[in-house]
Amino acid sequence: MNQTCENCGNQYDKAFKVIMNDQEHVFDSFECAINALAPRCNQCGSIIIGHGVESRDQVFCCANCAKNADHEGLVDRVT
């Protein structure tokens, strides 16, 4: 049975469902799921596919973006 991807509108027999915050979503690819559901960096707008960094209820793709938004003390990695 074909289902319609909520991101691109494609009807696909191998579509899948994602439940997030008790809401069901249907996608035809991980690309569409990521585009629709992944958070975006509060500074540069990039889609955050990995963990990102968080500060004061905001999420950023990296420590540099957090720093540019006046969120100090975050690091991408420990050396």
SS3 19: strand
> Is residue 44 located within the same domain as residue 30?
no
pLDDT digits (tens, 9 = 90+) for 16-68: 999 999 999 999 999 999 999 999 999 999 999 998 999 999 999 999 999 99
> Is residue 61 located within the same domain as residue 79?
yes
Residue 21: predicted pLDDT: 96
- Provide the domain limits for residue 75: 39-79
Buried b / exposed e along 5-32 (16+ C-beta atoms within 10 A): bbbeeeebeebeeeeeeeeebbbbbeeb
CA distance 37 to 79: 32
pLDDT digits (tens, 9 = 90+) for 1-23: 899 999 999 999 999 999 999 99
